[in-house]
Amino acid sequence: MRRILAGAALGVVLLTGAGCDQVGTPSAAPSGSASAGAGSGTSAKPAPSYSVSTADTQVCKDTKTLATDSTARFSEQVVKGIQGGANEAELVGSVKKLFTDWANGLRIQAGKADNADLKASLLAYATALEKQNAQLNTLADLQKIQDLNTPELQAATEKLNAICGTA
């Protein structure tokens, strides 16, 4: 069980780490460079430039906080599982609730966004999380969380990085 949970934790940290560094970090990178690493090797086109409002800047910051907090909550659940503080049903249930809350939080942020691309990226991210959550029913499914970095989640994360990296 510990090996399953450790693998699951690594998978989610890798996924959210890719999105956390730039999402909501207004001065972290100049325009276009936020997605340079994510898109390298896939296209030689320069990253599009996005215009964001003050409200969008706050959405980016709040999205980064949501991702950071959700990752921390997930890590807490994994530690609890590794230490034997939760049975399979409790652990899976708490992770499912976490993903539901995370997706709902992304939808709330999408409702606050002025930029149509930002809104669409947040909704795509939420939908992709919900899709993964629907497939999570057992510890074996939790082990597959390393596959959480689906093409849909990766595309949404890259776009969020590109948009929020300019915010």
**What residues does each domain of the chain span?**
2-23+51-164
The per-residue pLDDT for 45 is: 52
- Compute how many other C-beta atoms are within 10 angstroms of the C-beta atom of residue 99: 22
Tens digits of per-residue pLDDT, 97-122?
A: 999 999 999 999 999 999 999 999 99
Using alpha carbons, list the distances in angstroms from residue 47 to 19, 37, 73.
Answer: 16, 11, 33
Specify the higher pLDDT residue, 90 or 123.
Answer: 123
H-helix or E-strand spanning residue 106? helix 88-112
The per-residue pLDDT for 85 is: 67
